[in-house]
Amino acid sequence: MNTPNLEDMGCGTSSATKDKKSEKALKAALVIQNWYRGYSARLKTRQRYALTIFQSIEYADEQGQLQLSNFFSFMLENYTNVPEKEPGLVTRLFGSSIQDKDRQDYLGLIEIPDSYCGPRLQFPLTFTDIDLLIEAFKQQQILHAYYVLEVLFETKKVLQQMPNFTHTNTSPSKEITICGDLHGKLDDLFLIFYKNGLPSVTNPYVFNGDFVDRGKNSMEILMILFVSFLVYPNDLHLNRGNHEDFMMNMRYGFTKEILHKYKLHGKKILQILEEVYTWLPIGTIIDNEVLVIHGGISESTDLNLLHRIERNKMRSVLMPPIPMDGDRAEKKNKLGTATVALGIRTSGSFSEQLTKQEWEQVIDILWSDPRGKRGCYPNTNRGGGCYFGPDITSKILNKYQLKMLVRSHECKPEGYEICHDGKVITVFSASNYYEEGSNRGAYIRMSSGTTPRFFQYQITKATCFRPLYQRVNAIESSAIRMLKERMISRKTDLIRAFQLQDRNKSGKLSMGQWAFSMENVLGLNLPWRSLSSHLVTTDKDGNIDYMSGFQDVHIQKPVKEVQSSLIETVYRYRSDLQIIFNIIDSDHSGLISMEEFRSMWKLFKSHYSVHIDDSQFDELAERMDLNKDGSIDFNEFLKAFYVVHKFDQLNKSDTKLA
């Protein structure tokens, strides 16, 4: 029996019609695909601009931090009261803070009350204590100060027995995991351990520095890592980063975190922590092939010298060696008057310095960054270390029969980056470093004779369930907020630069003139033309109203009568001033005398070339001495300077960089 043809009966669709419909569907799909690709590319561009802002401001802050080292040298040469009145200041900067005290001096008077319901560690520590600590921190419990100090003392004792570079070997059946910066991001550490397992004899780790600062759980990370290290000293390797430094902690949050969580014993913890930092190894070498260091190398990196130096003499990157010409040396300061230079020995401090060459070698290891350009040149963004090109990488690796350099120190959008023909790997383990959704974290697994494997992740909060464009908007908004705060802190300088270009006094500049002035004053190396629509208003002819950049933001004046230029200066240098005042405040009272306050300001003003009349600062200081007792609470003084954003809600609603 023949089956009837449905098309012949008019019940089917011709092949020609089918082809036409398929062609239309394909064209529509291609249009949608092309639109989506363009949309995704624009989102990526906007996100990249935001990350560039975050990173430029971060590096500019680090540059300012490193410049403090020059100030401290200048201060100790010119602050004539130091040798007579403040020998403790010299010890604080260059001496050992606890070498005359033992463990009992710190722990003897600390009692653990029965009411304490946090984790209780049992020494000697075992794997059970690691598990106990992690579970307690997941419940947001605080480890008692007694246990914190016990862990720090034990860690210091074990670290003192370790070389500058720890050597470890792998096999095809025993990989090693390398983690980069964590910066107090405890959830990232939990996720790494969940995905990759806890440290053990069969699951070794390298944590490549910058465990602390910026994030809010630096203490918890440090305790987990140190306890794990004490249980597995041969299988968990801790490298020093540039943030394992008590001076860096003062600026970037860890000092504040400790004093907040441990109000009674925080100062003791800070003292012993300074010592622990100095004993951290500066690198790990895997299978005699892979060099793992926090920052990078330079053309003069000498691994033989770095193996020999007494690393515990490196107290802080901000404390360069001071040349000594005898026990008391008279110098001419920059003001032309004779002062007693740093020729006073306190606790043997100056015999405990690294040489200038040794200090520079360690700075390069902790601070340098790779770049695509050949050669070795100063790291102008950070202000310390160097940029090293692929030729420098090949030279150093070949010289020491190494195959690869693994380093951290830089946030990467994907959590890792490979450069220099595969010879340099950057790994960064703190996801959402700048802002929620700003970057992934990553870790590496490798073993002898195999290709490194990369594992990426990103901690997700409720905000990550929002559409992508909303998340990018949030990142942008935060970045622009930071940039506007940078602008308002240099308002007087920016207006002066704009007015030099505005010869007709019109209040407007061309795009090129405005971008040149912005970069010349702020020095952030940003794409100002692309950012202009977000920072200023532009007329129909493309000219920029340069004052419009300051309309929605201002610095709150604690005293209305004080000139704006002084307010901007104190706000701009508030982090530096806080560190300086904390150093002077030897009894940790939070108070300094009006005389010290004025003396330090004069030195600061001279060194940083701040052109502000002393009478203005004196008037401000007098008004900030609220109870008129001749002392100033410098922390409260500096908190009085903050930026007010007038149109926060408007900015958050629809912010776009590209």
Within a 10 A sphere around the Cβ of 436, how many other Cβ atoms? 18
Do 320 and 68 touch, CB atoms closer than 8 A? no
Structure tokens at 318: 């901000």
- Tell me the one-letter amino acid at 367: W
Considering only CA atoms, which of 223, 209, 211, 199 is closest in space to residue 141?
223
Residue holding tokens 């920059």? Answer: 334
Query: CA separation (Å) from 46 to 533, 599, 655?
Result: 13, 46, 10
Do 399 and 37 touch, CB atoms closer than 8 A? no
Cβ neighbours of residue 256 closer than 8 Å, sequence gap 6 or more: none
Going by their DSSP bridges, the two strands 424-427 and 416-419 should be labelled as antiparallel
Buried b (16+ CB within 10 A) or exposed e, 575-597: bbbbbbbbbbbeeeeebbebebb
Catalytic entry in 144, 183, 243, 265: 243
Give the whole-angstrom CA distance, residue 506 versus residue 526: 26
Query: Reduced to 3 states, what is the DSSP secondary structure of residue 11?
Result: coil
Considering only CA atoms, which of 340, 251, 335 is closest in space to residue 67?
251
Reply yes or no on whether 265 is catalytic. Answer: no
Structure tokens at 537: 């208003």
Give the whole-angstrom CA distance, residue 363 versus residue 56: 20
Residue holding tokens 């202000």? Answer: 383
Do 311 and 358 touch, CB atoms closer than 8 A? no
What CA dihedral angle connects 105, 109, 114 and 115, to 10 degrees? -100
Do 292 and 407 touch, CB atoms closer than 8 A? yes
- Tell me the one-letter amino acid at 103: R
Half-sphere exposure of 411 (CA within 13 A, CB side): 22
Cβ neighbours of residue 22 closer than 8 Å, sequence gap 6 or more: none
Length of the chain: 658
One DSSP character per residue, 464-532 reads GGS-HHHHHHHHHHHHHHHHHHHHHHTHHHHHHHHHHH-TT--SEE-HHHHHHHHHHHH-----HHHHH
**CA angle in degrees (0–180, nearest 5) for 303-305-306:** 60
Query: Reduced to 3 states, what is the DSSP secondary structure of residue 538?
Result: strand
Give the whole-angstrom CA distance, residue 115 versus residue 109: 17
Do 524 and 562 touch, CB atoms closer than 8 A? no
Give the whole-angstrom CA distance, residue 378 versus residue 653: 41
- Tell me the one-letter amino acid at 560: K
Give the whole-angstrom CA distance, residue 462 versus residue 471: 11
Structure tokens at 574: 């508030």
Within a 10 A sphere around the Cβ of 473, how many other Cβ atoms? 22
Catalytic residues: 243
